[in-house]
Structure 1
Amino acid sequence: MNSAGPEIPAKSHGPQGGRSGARALPELRELLFVADHLGGHARVETLATLEHGGFDFPLVAIHLGPNDPRCPALALFGGVHGLERIGTRVVTAYLQTLAQLANWDRGTQALLESTRVLLIPLVNPVGMYLQRRANGNSVDLMRNAPVDAEDMSPWHLFGGHRISPRLPWYRGATGAPMETEAQAVCDWVRREIFPSRVALAVDVHSGYGNLDRLWFPYARSRTPLATLPEIMALKKLLDRTHAHHVYRIEPQSCEYLAHGDLWDYLYDEYRVAQPEGVFTPLTLELGSWIWVKKNWRQAFSPLGIFNPRLPHRERRTLRRHIFLFEFLLRAVRSPSAWAELSAERRERLLSQGLALWYD
């Protein structure tokens, strides 16, 4: 995969006890390069510094728009699983586009006066450096929240387990605190998103299926979530605005159940903190099997299963989802179209959502 790009000088972000991890990880080097050239459009924050193999890997968060966390917000995440490098590259590519638009486009400048864009493009830098799904402690960060799935066999390893860190999808030991990366993401979301009355999040993954899916909670349960009418309204808005979009929108539980999902955990917490608000976390699951189908040799490489290896396919993926992020950014700025529903419309949309996804 042509992921390294041009040689980019690494700069320091946060406390450094060893060598900069940007020297060892192209995706981190690219992210720090972009962050160092955002100028006055953004604020860059290091949430934690992860040490591994003599390198320091910063966990970088980027803020565009107003400082007020009560403003509408779109949050983007990538690289939760270290093998899924393309997720980090997709989020970083959009950050580059948005930063350039903020330089000259009056529409983008006006939008960012009232709407926030929040990004953590690389949640698991150590796992990406090690070329494995889990973090440096062999814990799957998307199975690490203190949430248990309903009616799932304890031997269903794919959904998360506590048997051994030697096996994939390990949740961590019973009673152990959340991993540094997962805890940092949760704390940051509580601080930057929970005060907002309208927010959307997209967490970019790959490695499942041959089409692009947009999943919404729950992963732990097949119970419909409280804001199903708003999600149905958002789906209809996307269908009308981009009639030929490629996404299958569905609850994650339509495909499989999982323990410890961070977005289930944060969605339920937000509902307690903001019972009248609307926070919808989405998982963009890129259909990577189509890349393997077109280039079967990728099936013999761990990275090949999760990432496009040919340069033209990678470029296509990097530009493919920009319209989705732009749509969602406009949606949080204009919530009356989907998030401010009358009682009658909520009831109608609830019936439609139940029929579409749960019957």
Structure 2
Amino acid sequence: MNSKQRTQRPLPELDELQRLIKRGGSQLDVSVLTEVIDGTQRYPLHAIRLGNPDPQAPVLLLCGGIHGVERIGTQLLLAQLDALLARLHWDQGLQQDLEHIRLVFCPLLNPAGMARGSRANAKGIDLMRNAPHNAEQPGAWPLSGHRIGAWLPWYRGALDEPMQPESAALCTLVNREIGCARFCLSLDCHSGFGMRDRLWFPYAGSTRPLEQLSEIQTLMELYEGANPHHRYLLEPQCHQYRTHGDLWDHLYHQHLLRHAARKGPIPVFLPLTLELGSWLWVRKNLRQITSFTGLFNPLVPHRQRRILRHHNSLFEFLIRAVRSWQQWLPEGSARDIQQQRALQRWYKDEHP
């Protein structure tokens, strides 16, 4: 198959996104962060905002599709946006939430890669290895990222090249949205690891604890209390593997440096990753192993529908947590206690 044929593949996720943008109309603030060019094809990279436009308003950022083959993450966010639009005209609770917070969707970050059925973008670069941030304790090579060439998976790009347009656009969006915000949560949707759904938090490149670990501990306790029968494994990403160039490690460090220079309290920014356990889908349907796409996405329609509705409680919880952030953030001695609880829970082997 030649390059021209590959770039002309249909992209139903982009069609659905554009349908939702048209449906939302004036209720949505839509921008095109950049255009991604792949041969004769040009793909817009959309960001969608709804809610309070005040730069200081708390923010929930929802991202997906960084790895093009992981279509289910994009589909999950599109389903959530679809449901929100259906509720906007009658749900007073949602309307009141959106008076206080801002939701930002960027559900299709690698449209060329998704059209190609590829993990990487059109240039063969893995966008989640593309940040200039190097791991302090890299994991196994080449999974941790490398600069040899695009013919080998997990390619970071050449050392002297700027970040890819998709990666740079995400960084610009996140830095703009959280630059003045008093509180921010983000969720980046992926698939393809293990038989359990996981909620990861940074770091991806180090085993050292996150600077805002007490806030992570409190958030996770709130979720466990509100959803005692949840099925997520809650853990730092470094427990599974460590990588160079992680975009969320990079963005978190930028956030800390930006506010350290202002010599004031650092607003809370908690980047989370939802890693859907696609190996479970393969185990339930061994035919999926014959398809590269099937390693990352449910191919049976009823299983796809189940996944799209299974995570509703998580998204609803994140909206509530952002709306009520001042009610639950630990302060003073409570923050110290939560820090110790988190160290015992997640880091007792690394930091006894």
Coarse TM-score class (shorter-chain normalised) = over 0.9
Q: Indicate conservation of the 8 Å contact 2:217/2:339, yes or no.
A: yes
Is the partner of 2:89 in helix, strand or coil?
helix
Give the CA deviation at 1:250. 0.6
Cα distance in 2 for partners of 1:172, 1:26 equals 28
Alignment-derived partner of residue 72 in structure 2: 86
Cα distance in 1 for partners of 2:159, 2:288 equals 36
Q: Indicate conservation of the 8 Å contact 2:138/2:206, yes or no.
A: no
Residue 166 (structure 2) pairs with residue 181 (structure 1): yes
Give the CA deviation at 1:342. 2.0
Cα distance in 1 for partners of 2:131, 2:36 equals 19
Alignment-derived partner of residue 179 in structure 2: 194
**Please, which moves more after superposition, 23-32 or 313-322?**
23-32
Alignment-derived partner of residue 3 in structure 1: none
CA RMSD of the aligned region, Å?
1.5
1:354 to 327, 343, 352: 343
What letter is aligned with 1:257? R
Is the partner of 1:136 in helix, strand or coil?
coil
What letter is aligned with 1:203? D
1:125/1:160 Cα in 2 relative to 1: closer, same or farther (>3 Å)? same
Is the partner of 1:158 in helix, strand or coil?
coil
> Taking every aligned residue pair, what percent have the same amino acid on both sides?
48
2:299 to 299, 309, 326: 309
Give the CA deviation at 1:22. 9.8
Alignment-derived partner of residue 204 in structure 2: 219
Cα distance in 2 for partners of 1:78, 1:335 equals 24
What letter is aligned with 2:235? E
Runs (4+) of structure 1 exceeding 6 A deviation are: none
What letter is aligned with 1:186? C
Is the partner of 2:181 in helix, strand or coil?
coil
Q: Indicate conservation of the 8 Å contact 1:22/1:28, yes or no.
A: no
Q: Indicate conservation of the 8 Å contact 2:182/2:267, yes or no.
A: yes
Give the CA deviation at 1:194. 2.2
1:150-165 equivalences in 2 (<5 Å): 150-152=136-138, 156-165=141-150
What letter is aligned with 1:53? G
Give the CA deviation at 1:23. 7.8
Alignment-derived partner of residue 3 in structure 2: none
Give the CA deviation at 1:85. 0.3
> TM-score, structure 2 length as denominator?
0.93
Residue 14 (structure 2) pairs with residue 28 (structure 1): yes
Alignment-derived partner of residue 323 in structure 2: 333
1:236-247 equivalences in 2 (<5 Å): 236-247=221-232
Is the partner of 2:190 in helix, strand or coil?
strand
Cα distance in 1 for partners of 2:154, 2:101 equals 36
1:1-359 equivalences in 2 (<5 Å): 24-152=10-138, 156-274=141-259, 275-339=265-329, 341-359=330-348
Is the partner of 2:270 in helix, strand or coil?
strand
Q: Indicate conservation of the 8 Å contact 1:237/1:337, yes or no.
A: no
Cα distance in 1 for partners of 2:31, 2:236 equals 32
Give the CA deviation at 1:169. 0.3
What letter is aligned with 2:10? A
1:22/1:35 Cα in 2 relative to 1: closer, same or farther (>3 Å)? farther
Q: Indicate conservation of the 8 Å contact 1:217/1:281, yes or no.
A: yes
Cα distance in 1 for partners of 2:42, 2:161 equals 24
Cα distance in 2 for partners of 1:26, 1:220 equals 34
Give the CA deviation at 1:257. 0.4
Cα distance in 2 for partners of 1:49, 1:82 equals 16
Cα distance in 2 for partners of 1:178, 1:53 equals 19
- How many residues matched? 338
Structure 2: 5+ residue runs without aligned partners? 1-6, 260-264
Q: Indicate conservation of the 8 Å contact 2:51/2:100, yes or no.
A: yes
Cα distance in 2 for partners of 1:151, 1:200 equals 26
Q: Indicate conservation of the 8 Å contact 2:213/2:339, yes or no.
A: yes
Is the partner of 1:157 in helix, strand or coil?
coil
1:37/1:23 Cα in 2 relative to 1: closer, same or farther (>3 Å)? farther
What letter is aligned with 2:297? N
Q: Indicate conservation of the 8 Å contact 1:22/1:29, yes or no.
A: no
Is the partner of 1:38 in helix, strand or coil?
helix
Is the partner of 1:37 in helix, strand or coil?
helix
Cα distance in 1 for partners of 2:255, 2:147 equals 27
**Please, which moves more after superposition, 115-124 or 273-282?**
273-282
